[in-house]
Amino acid sequence: MAELFGNILNLTWQQVVMILIGGVLIWLAIKKDMEPALLLPIGFGAILCNLPLTGAVTQIIGGTKEIGVVDTLFNAGIVNELFPLLLFIGIGAMIDFGPLLANPKLFLFGAAAQFGIFFTLSLAALLGFDIKDAASIAIIGAADGPTSIFVANFFHSNYIGAIVVAAYSYMALVPIVQPPVIKLITTKKERLIKMPYTQKEISKTTRILFPIIITVVAGLVVPRSVALVGFLMFGNLIRECGVLNSLSESAQKELANIITILLGLTISTKMQASSFLNLSTLLIMGLGLVAFVFDTIGGVMFAKFMNLFTKNKVNPMIGATGISAFPMSARVIHKMGLKEDPQNFLLMHAIGANVSGQIASVIAGGLVITLISR
């Protein structure tokens, strides 16, 4: 009987808390439909990795080191940055850059909405985090899971588990985080600014050359971003070339889905109670929220700044869609615009700015790595 039930006595209260946290993430994924593709595997993985003496994670059992399967996957796909980069191929294949190419000034909102990353970097350093950990925490503001994993892993951050949970949680909470911030820093008159949309066709040649040129430009200026930008743009190129439809579909569906399953489950090895349950995790969750809030503020304030000089005014809410949480942020702002004026259709502008955030966030990730590594 002791062999059957003895392991229950090995369970610590911290592990029980982590198992409950795993349960909460699963509940959020299923009941609230919050980023279920990631939160469910992460939640289940948290349960797997916090059961004592299991084979899921590397442990010393009976004096022998046993390599756990989740750690094996972590070493195979996270330590070498493989999983996030492969996922980026799928993401690139899903993105239509058409609305952005038709109105390239929307790129500027993608740049402005990365402000939260750098603001949070300074705040995290002020609060006592080591500079590399501060950078890893700040990249939550990229609002992009693979970029957050890539940068946090590059800096060998001990907080990668909390960072990933924060990144994906806040991406799912964009409909709750962004609207109050936007309402606080804009006036009703500004939110009512109309932005008429004229569809502009983009040639196939432009669509094909765009990912190649972006890769070369980003690679020459920010070489550390080449892996992220390159894989994203490769995915987009196989979508736009027109001769690889089956590969594009596979990238968008099978590849993205397989990597998503492995990524979520694998990251949970960093959610073991001993490393996750501490004050730093709470601080990181708070800093992640700060990053998202100041991303929103950065984008909106830049739009207001632009309006000082431009004849055709920009609705400042579009600035908030410069974060990389695609397409959630675009949908949120479109709904906010309709709520203010049912005749104000901001969707295409919002989508353009939102996809620019994808590019700007990976460039920001590369810049953070470059500047902190120096």
Partner 1 sequence: MLNISAFLGTLPVMLYGLLGIFIVIGFIILCVKLLTIAFPVKKGK
Residue 69 near residue 268 (C-beta atoms within 8 A) = no
Q: Which of 83, 107, 154, 276 binds partner 1 (CB under 8 A)?
A: 107
Candidates 1-9, 61-69, 326-334, 355-363; binding stretch for partner 1 (CB under 8 A): 355-363
Q: Residue 206 or residue 260: which is nearer to partner 1 going by CB? A: 206
Dihedral (CA of 142, 144, 145, 151) sign:
negative
Buried b (16+ CB within 10 A) or exposed e, 198-211: eeeebeeeebeebb
Q: Which of 64, 205, 246, 343 binds partner 1 (CB under 8 A)?
A: 205
234/240 Cα distance (integer angstroms): 10
Candidates 143-151, 155-163, 191-199, 363-371; binding stretch for partner 1 (CB under 8 A): 363-371
Q: Which of 134, 139, 177, 237 binds partner 1 (CB under 8 A)?
A: 134
Any long-range contacts for 205-211 (C-beta under 8 Å, 24+ apart)? 206/101, 207/97, 207/98, 207/101, 207/240, 208/237, 208/240, 208/241, 210/97, 210/101, 210/236, 210/240, 211/92, 211/236, 211/237, 211/240
Q: Is residue 104 a contact point for partner 1 (CB under 8 A)? A: yes
Candidates 52-60, 62-70, 125-133, 310-318; binding stretch for partner 1 (CB under 8 A): 125-133
Q: Is residue 128 a contact point for partner 1 (CB under 8 A)? A: yes
Size of the site for partner 1 (CB under 8 A): 43
360/186 Cα distance (integer angstroms): 24
Residue 47 near residue 270 (C-beta atoms within 8 A) = no
Q: Residue 115 or residue 326: which is nearer to partner 1 going by CB? A: 115
Q: Is residue 114 a contact point for partner 1 (CB under 8 A)? A: yes
- Closest distance to partner 1 from the beta carbon of 370 (Å): 8
Q: How many helices (H) and strands (E) does the chain have?
A: 22, 2
Q: Which of 87, 174, 218, 259 binds partner 1 (CB under 8 A)?
A: 218
Residue numbers at the binding site for partner 1 (CB under 8 A)? 101, 104-105, 107-108, 110-111, 114-115, 117-119, 121-123, 125-128, 131, 134, 201-203, 205-206, 209-210, 213-214, 217-218, 221-222, 356, 359-360, 363-364, 367-368, 371-372
